[in-house]
Amino acid sequence: MRPAGRAAAAGHPGGGWRRRPAPQLAVAGKRGCRDGEGEGGQGGGHPRSDPAVLPSQVSLQYDSSGTWRHTCGGTLIDPSWVLTAAHCISSSLTYRVVLGKQVLSEDEPGSMAVGVEKIIVHEKWNSFLIINDIALIKLAEAVKESETIQPSCLPPAGLILENDYPCYITGWGRLRTNGPLPDTLQQALLPVVSYEICSQRDWWGSNVRPTMVCAGGDGITSGCNGDSGGPLNCQREGLWEVQGIVSFGSALGCNTAKKPTVFTRVSAYIDWINEVGAPSSGPVPTQPGITP
């Protein structure tokens, strides 16, 4: 957590967003990563108005005296690898990853829990400045793709989405500041806020770096505690991509105007992901002329 009035990591107890239960997990096209084409889909790179929750969403859970408790979200990016936030990880805890879930307390068909082989936290993660807030989890066993479990698409390296680009946050985070943790996976529309706007003094100022992406900020809808590590999903060229990893929000409360949810920008870390995790899907292509 950061001092009051500054930034607070979003994955540990605190705030809320106006959202609704996410629709059931379902396949919308090809294997390997989520295809945006399907019933209700729209062209032009804009997401459908009611997108299906991506089957790449996971719940990161820790062992508390024999009981598994949700602490953060994450994204399956390869049958053996999960992307999450560095601030979600504690070396003193034992973790597992739960995949294919909608309702955490229910034994749902198609869901599974997998142990963790190793966790790689970014070597330049800084918990005070909340920079390089990214980690990779290698699963103890590769998961088999199904209707409820599929890897997400990664964006091209260096990709920057335009201001107000429609994206979606999903997770099991608190429904409001100091509110309850939902049992059912939630979703909300969070439009991108450009770096030029988000870094203004009356927004996040210098707390925001170019390696981050902001979304929301209307004072009504935001990420909250328990959402950390989870995805910001955006549809681009017909494919759903994980563009962000929930990193931090305002210590003044989750739904604070001009304090949008801040995400680690995945496109700034594609080289790192390939170097340390080496997903079996191979290197992600770069986008010429754009640097992280």
State residue 279's pLDDT score: 53
Note the pTM of the prediction, 2 decimals.
Answer: 0.82
- Predicted pLDDT of residue 35: 52
- The rounded mean pLDDT for the chain is 82
Residue 136 confidence (pLDDT) above 70: yes
Set 133, 199, 222, 227: catalytic member: 133
pLDDT-derived band at 187 (thresholds 50, 70, 90) equals: very high
Catalytic residue among 59, 80, 228, 247: 228
Whether the pLDDT of residue 281 is over 90: the answer is no
Q: CATH 2.40.10.10 in the chain: give the residue spans.
A: 7-21+153-268, 57-151+272-277
Tell me the C-alpha distance between 152 and 35, whole Å: 9
List the CATH code of the domain at 57-151+272-277: 2.40.10.10
Catalytic residue among 59, 70, 87, 267: 87
CATH code for the structural domain at 7-21+153-268? 2.40.10.10
- Please report the pLDDT score of residue 2 as a whole number: 28
The residues, any chain, with a CB within 8 Å of residue 185's CB and separated by 6 or more, are: 21, 22, 53, 57, 101, 102, 103, 170, 171, 172
Residue 228 annotated to the active site: yes
Catalytic site residue 250? no
Q: Which residue has the higher pLDDT, 8 or 155?
A: 155
Q: Mind listing the pLDDT tens digit for each residue in 15-45?
A: 333 444 444 332 223 335 655 443 322 222 2
Task: Assign 255 a pLDDT band (cuts: 50, 70, 90).
Answer: confident
Residue 96 β-bridge partners? 61, 115
